[in-house]
Structure 1
Amino acid sequence: MFDHRHNGLPPQILDCARFMNLDMLTTELLCHPIRELTVSIPIRMDDGRVKVFTGYRIQWNDALGPMKGGIRYHPEETIDTVRSLAAWMTWKTALLDLPLGGAKGGIVCDPKILSDRELQRLTRKYIQRIAPFIGPETDVPAPDVGTDARVMGWMMDEYSRLAGKFQPGVITGKPIQIGGALGRTEATARGGIATISEAARELNIQLKDATVAIQGFGNAGANAAYLARNLLNARVIAVSDSQGGVYHAEGLNLEEVTAQKKKTGSVVGSPNTEKLNGDDVFTLEADIVIAAALEDAITPAIAERMTPKIVAELANGPTTPEADRILFEEGVHVIPDILCNAGGVTVSFFEMIQNKTFDAWTEEEVNQRLEKKMIKAYRDVFQMARTSGITMRKAAYVVASERIINAMKLRGWI
């Protein structure tokens, strides 16, 4: 049943299929994408040369509704990476009980070395290539690594040009002035903080003055730091990035850390802090560890040295399967990625609703709706984990899988 054709599939999905004792047909439908697109994108560079880029769009499952997922611009993008992320998106939208499926896309490129003109030409040509397969009611892309609101604006404009009419609903994560949603920038972090708050409530953990260590100080990690301080009244004692980390036992001055990051490109060297090596942020004595950077960052060797009460996965796949088992056996409460970092796709869904109805919600409305969704999803997973005696991660996949499978049955696929 589980053969070489499942390359690129997150192992948690196969583990979930075994746990649920799914039949062959159901497993095959869950483990294979509906469609994989690989496109060649010839672009005339500013110096007159023509360079051919490779782009992908993988659409995993649309049993619950239109597919949803970001587009990455990265020099090391591969089709296996995109497959894995497309599958993750399918389970993430199902877990949040959104009427959406999952997809993912990417272009093999380094956006940092492209001029603005080259980047826009590449973006528009990519949309031309995949336009027949996306749309407001089919597949709605969004920003991811290497892309931003500006790039999404170009994508929406190119699709609208091809369609001959304004189509804001084809893309989310757009600039506010052309149909974007307020609250989207900090949505991933805000959703993660909501799950941490709910976990602390369930586990009787006092959050006031609780210590927090964060790996990653990009958009998600930095916003999580400020929200942990401002909403949870916790003390952020350590943060790190690719260059190293900084620590202060009484709590970091986040404004100074942010200024240092902006000035030098790294948090290292922030005033009145001790320097940390990259992995030290995981093994400090902290109540809460937030993993907001790299995949496979928490290895078995690191997990064996960790002592937090809660690990919150704001990044995709930051904990290896073996490390996850170790943390579970040690009683560490892990909030899995498809739950913890689902705030972004949830607010993207809110953007789709606003585009469809020509409405614009206030940021307060967006945040309230997001918190409600995240708390409901957390409780669904926590209840499944508690009643079944399984990890939070496996429980999340079981809850999501049940919803996808039920939709496939109702549609007559199985």
Structure 2
Amino acid sequence: MRSEPLSYISSENNGPWEIYLEQVERVTPYLGKLAYWVEDLKRPKRILIVDIPIRMDDGSVAHFEGYRVHHNTFRGPAKGGVRYHPDVTLSEVMALAAWMTIKNAAVGVPYGGGKGGIRVDPRKLSTGEIERLTRRYTSEIGILIGPNKDIPAPDVGTAEREMAWMMDTYSMNIGHTTPGVVTGKPVQVGGSLGRRDATGRGVFVAAAVAAEKLGMNLEGARVAIQGFGNVGNAAARIFHDHKARIVAVSDVTGAIYNEAGIDPYDLTQHVQSTGGVRGYPKAEPIPAMDVLTVPCEFLIPAALEKQITEANAWKVQCKVVVEGANGPTTPAADDILAERGILVVPDVVANAGGVTVSYFEWVQDFNSYFWTEAEINQRLEQIMRNALEAVWQVHEERKVSLRTATYIVAATRVLESRALLGLYP
């Protein structure tokens, strides 16, 4: 199949989108006849770039650039979060949308891939400014979103609060309350129990399955976590509850280390009172990037993309990397870790707990009937385990990495749908 290259992608830009494309190239030889359709994985379905003017508290008007990308919708409506971060780029949002396509297919939820973002540092805005930013952004992307079209969710820099504003803005614009337009909302307005900790819980389940496959014991295992936001915090608490030992934690303020273990509940109180992990009195400060290279059994990168690279992959001292963040390991680093015998449980299955419970929330909103948190957690674990078992089977049968195995499973599902649907017109 002949196709022209995308005009807005630079071959010299080794950004997140290029990393995703390399991952697709690696899986293509395993797709058989479905490789005929592989170009569909290399091209976003649609891209919307919006200008977001808002009135600031001082009376001035500031402009911010926002994005919403639909990568693929063969298996259902687009699904993916909204990121507020000063380093948001189109390449990043495209890659995040594409990873959502793979992730949703890998765990079998009936969604395609989407993602959104605004290039902004939310820490520099007041609550009122963030609300105005969120509501204007929602209105600007309103032509794309909807409970049967595209369902946003929280990501880096956003949380339940922003989802409530997005839901209310969309509902006001169409004239009736529509809880299913976003997920990750507060429980009081149609959110799901268990959603807040879902991604971190899924990371733990992925680690537990890896431990079972490798004959490792979770009790007493050392865990290092990069990022102590929603994902890292939840993962730390659940590991701790299962008697693992959290030895290192980092966030935007710094990194800390204690070989004897860090109590994540106590650390959370410190973070709430001081704004970050820096200065935690029961651990030693270490350089921020050293959290990736401390001796441990499980390393959980739960921050941003491109954290484990060929520059530091040789220094990683863990047995298993479980990717809580999206795209934290570059392809070159993947190869180095594999050469060193370090197992990587990839983001597109390891951090799928969030979108899985988002799916539960969406279903509950449609039915106006809500499940208990115990039911949510049990269903989450079952779906995650089923997905990981399927990936592990391909990993062993094809003698490929878990990432390539996940892409084989997911890409096959997406492209089978593509082949069945055909081309219109």
- Which TM-score band (shorter chain)? over 0.9
Q: CA deviation at 1:98?
A: 0.5
Q: Which residue of 1 aligns with 2:177?
A: 166
Equivalent residue, structure 2, for 1:364: 374
Equivalent positions of 1:84-233 (< 5 A) are 84-231=95-242, 233=243
What corresponds to 1:290 in structure 2? 300
Q: Does 1:408 align with 2:408?
A: no
1:280 maps to what in 2? 290
Secondary structure of 1:304's partner?
helix
Name the aligned partner's letter for residue 292 of structure 1.
A
Give the counterpart of 2:337 among 327, 339, 344.
327
Counterpart residue number, 1:387: 397
SS of 2:337's equivalent in the other structure is: helix
The whole-number CA distance in structure 1 between the counterparts of 2:3 and 2:246 is 43
Question: CA offset at residue 169 of structure 1?
Answer: 0.6
Equivalent residue, structure 2, for 1:397: 407
1:24 Cα deviation from its structure 2 partner: 7.2
* Separation in 2, partners of 1:289, 1:146: 23
Runs of 4+ in 1 over 6 A off after TM superposition: none
Aligned to 1:131, the other structure's residue is in SS state coil
Where do residues 8-23 of structure 1 align in structure 2 (5 Å cutoff)? 8-9=17-18, 10=20, 11-20=22-31
Matched position secondary structure for 1:371: helix
Partner of 1:317: 327
Match of 2:258 in 1: 248
Instruction: Compute the TM-score of the two structures, normalised by the length of structure 1.
Output: 0.94
Closer/same/farther in 2, CA of residues 75 and 241 from structure 1, 3 Å limit: closer
Structure 1: tracts of 5 or more residues without a match:
none
Which piece of structure 1 moves more, 333-342 or 260-269?
260-269
**Cα deviation, residue 3, structure 1:** 7.1
Q: How far off its partner does 1:107 sit?
A: 1.9
Deviations 1:16-42 (A, max 9, x none): 224436677512211111111112223
Structure 1 residues 95 and 278: CA distance shift in structure 2, 3 A: same
User: Can you list the C-alpha shifts for 1:119-141, whole angstroms capped at 9, x where unaligned?
Assistant: 22222222222212211111111
Paired residues, number: 413
Matched-pair contact (CA < 8 Å) for 1:123–1:154: yes
Kindly tell me: are residues 188 and 27 of structure 1, through their superposed partners in 2, closer, same or farther at Cα, counting changes over 3 Å? Answer: same
Change over 3 Å in CA distance of 1:162–1:242 after alignment to 2: closer
The range that moved more, 145-154 or 246-255, is 246-255
Q: Aligned to 1:140, what secondary structure does the other structure show? A: strand
Structure 1 residues 75-84 or 38-47, which shifts more?
A: 38-47
1:77 maps to which of 85, 88, 99: 88
- SS state of the match for residue 312, structure 2? helix
TM-score (norm 2): 0.92
One-letter amino acid of the structure 1 residue matched with residue 79 of structure 2? K
2:56 to 45, 53, 78: 45
Q: Which amino acid aligns with 1:246?
A: I
Q: How far apart, CA to CA, are the structure 1 residues paired with 2:329 and 2:172?
A: 42
Q: CA deviation at 1:288?
A: 1.3
Residue identity in the other structure for 2:143: P
- Per the alignment, in what secondary structure is the counterpart of residue 93 of structure 1? helix
CA distance in 1 between counterparts of 2:52 and 2:248 reads 43
* Superposed CA offset, 1:72-113 (max 9, x none): 122222111111111111111010101100101112223222
Equivalents in 1 of 2:125, 2:180: separation in Å?
27
> Percent identity between the aligned chains?
46
State the alpha-carbon separation in 1 of the partners of residues 75 and 164 from structure 2: 27
Is residue 2:79 matched to residue 1:68? Answer: yes
Task: Show the counterpart of 1:236.
Answer: 246
Instruction: Give the gaps of 5 or more residues in structure 2.
Output: 11-16
- Displacement of 1:313: 0.6
**Amino acid of the structure 2 residue aligned with 1:143:** P
In structure 1, distance between residues paired with 2:316 and 2:130: 42
Secondary structure at 1:184's aligned position in 2?
coil
State the shift of 1:358 in Å: 0.5
Q: Is the 8 A contact 1:256 1:271 kept in 2?
A: no
Task: Give the match for residue 28 of structure 1.
Answer: 39
Comparing 5-14 and 361-370, the one that deviates more: 5-14
Partners of 2:28 and 2:35 within 8 A in 1: no
1:346 is paired with a residue of what secondary structure?
helix
- Pick from 249, 261, 266: which aligns with 2:271? 261
> 1:275 Cα shift?
2.4
Q: CA RMSD in A?
A: 2.0
What SS class does the counterpart of residue 285 from structure 1 fall into?
coil
Quick one: distance in 1 between partners of 2:159 and 2:282?
A: 33
Q: Distance in 2 between matches of 1:18 and 1:314?
A: 27
Residue 324 to residue 116, structure 1, CA distance change in 2 (3 Å): same
Change (3 A) 1:210 1:413: same
**Matches of 1:42 and 1:215 in 2, distance apart?**
34
